[in-house]
Amino acid sequence: PPQDTPASIKQRAEAGDAEAQNKLGMMYALGMGVKRDYVEAAKWFRRAADQGNPDAEMKVAMMYDTGYGVQRDAKAAMTWYSKAAEHGNADAQLRVGLMYELGQGVPQNIATAVQFYTKAAEKNRTDAYMRLGNIYETGRGNVAKNLRRAAECYSKAAEIGSSEAEYKLGHMYEEGLGVAKNTEQAVAWY
């Protein structure tokens, strides 16, 4: 197949190809083969997102979240993050969880945040496991403290390679928080 050129990508994008629209948006966002133009990037991302392209939905959300190419708008960001999350985008699931946890663009709801973090964690996102572990460790909002569950989350994150989770798990074994007190395990995780 012939190599994509800015002209061929633009031609496909103008013909309605969502992948090409998303790619053209990236080209404008990064200044690859075209002059960097965030407004133009937002336009092409939006066209692809309107066709249900999850990657483009995430990019539109990020643009509303940051104000690049569009006016900053937390509610619009949440709308697009939610669409991408519904399409299985782990980054979007994590971001929707964070927005619910912090009350950005939506009323704060820790239980809903946990639902979205859980979806992202199922895709082995260490940051999602860490957020879940923290919520269960401290018990916040409408989610009860559950040290056993916190240790499970930290353990999953540690298994994936999070040094922060390894430290947290070491502390939990040292103090017997949610797990049986075990100095050897504490030392191993530390």
Res. 4 pLDDT band, cuts 50 70 90: confident
- Amino acid 105: pLDDT: 85
pLDDT of residue 1: 43
The whole-number pLDDT of residue 160 equals 94
6 band by pLDDT with thresholds 50, 70 and 90: confident
pLDDT of residue 2: 58
Cβ neighbours of residue 167 closer than 8 Å, sequence gap 6 or more: 189, 190
How confident is the model over 153-182, as a mean pLDDT?
96
Question: pLDDT tens digits for 100-135?
Answer: 999 988 999 999 999 999 999 999 999 999 999 999
| Mean per-residue pLDDT, 165-180 | 97
Three-state SS for the chain is CCCCCHHHHHHHHHCCCHHHHHHHHHHHHHCCCCCCCHHHHHHHHHHHHHCCCHHHHHHHHHHHHHCCCCCCCHHHHHHHHHHHHHCCCHHHHHHHHHHHHHCCCCCCCHHHHHHHHHHHHCCCCHHHHHHHHHHHHHCCCCCCCCHHHHHHHHHHHHHHCCHHHHHHHHHHHHHCCCCCCCHHHHHHHC
What whole-number distance in Å separates Cα of residue 14 and Cα of residue 164?
A: 46
43-96 tens-digit pLDDT: 999 999 999 999 999 999 999 999 999 999 999 999 999 999 999 999 999 999
Tell me which residue of 170, 171, 154 sits closest to 162, measured CA to CA. Answer: 154
Once rounded to an integer, what is the mean pLDDT over residues 14-29? 97
Does this model's pTM top 0.95? My answer is no
Tell me what pLDDT residue 116 has.
98
